[in-house]
């Protein structure tokens, strides 16, 4: 009996390797294979790029950002983006928040924000894993071999995977004009 499961990181890396005609590996911890290292870096690169958009699955609204004992506020280490709903001049510099208006990195109160998180592969929904794998495979193959024929086929597959991801986002995100961040920020003005 075959067990059906979500695409593993190993399967995704092997898909990237197959896109350049390389053999699959049995483990991600194999050392000394330049193509394996490059495939893993490419998969990580596109996982960050795709997640940076901020999808329903990796975005938390009204997330608490508490001060530490020195009144500094640090972003979570896996925060890709922090969005404060007001126009307070607070920005992220490295992992620390900074108030550009007051020219300080100390705060007199805790903050709350919308935070876009970088999730590890195993926490991504299948639709996101598939899109990241297809996008990374296309770019990896193009960077490594530069085949125009393969690029055309994979570009179509990438668009199909992106469509599936955006449809899933619409289904799970429960979006409407009144709940979107951009609409709320306009109404708050």
For 32-85, the pLDDT digits (tens) are 899 999 999 999 999 999 999 999 999 999 999 999 999 999 999 999 999 987
Task: Determine phi and psi for 178, rounding to 5 degrees.
Answer: -85, -15
Q: Does residue 188 register a pLDDT over 50?
A: no
Q: Rounded distance, CA 6 to CA 59, Å?
A: 21
Region at 131 (left for phi over 0; alpha for psi -120 to 50; beta for the rest): alpha
Q: What pLDDT shows up at residue 131? A: 96
Give me the residue spans of the domains in the chain: 9-54+123-173, 56-119
Q: What pLDDT shows up at residue 81? A: 94
pLDDT band (50, 70, 90) for residue 153: low
Q: What pLDDT shows up at residue 148? A: 61
Q: What pLDDT shows up at residue 4? A: 83
Alpha-carbon separation of residue 39 from 95, 98, 168 (angstroms): 28, 36, 27
């Amino acid at each position: 009996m075959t067990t059906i499961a979500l695409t593993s990181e190993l399967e995704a890396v092997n898909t990237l390797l197959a896109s350049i005609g390389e053999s699959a590996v049995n483990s991600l911890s194999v050392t000394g294979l330049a193509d394996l290292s490059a495939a893993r870096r490419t998969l990580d690169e596109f996982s960050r790029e795709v997640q940076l958009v901020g999808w329903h699955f990796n975005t938390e609204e009204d997330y608490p950002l508490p001060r530490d004992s020195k009144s500094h506020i640090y972003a979570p280490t896996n925060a890709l983006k922090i969005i404060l709903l007001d126009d307070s001049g607070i920005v992220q510099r490295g992992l620390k928040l900074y108030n550009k208006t007051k020219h300080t990195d100390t705060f007199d109160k805790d903050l709350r924000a919308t935070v876009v998180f970088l999730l590890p592969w195993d926490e991504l929904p299948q639709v996101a894993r598939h899109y990241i794998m297809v996008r990374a495979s296309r770019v990896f193959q193009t960077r490594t071999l530069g085949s125009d024929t393969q690029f055309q086929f994979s570009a179509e597959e990438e668009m199909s995977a992106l469509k599936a991801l955006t449809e899933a986002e619409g289904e799970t995100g429960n979006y409407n004009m009144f709940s979107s961040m951009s609409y709320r920020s306009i109404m708050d003005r």
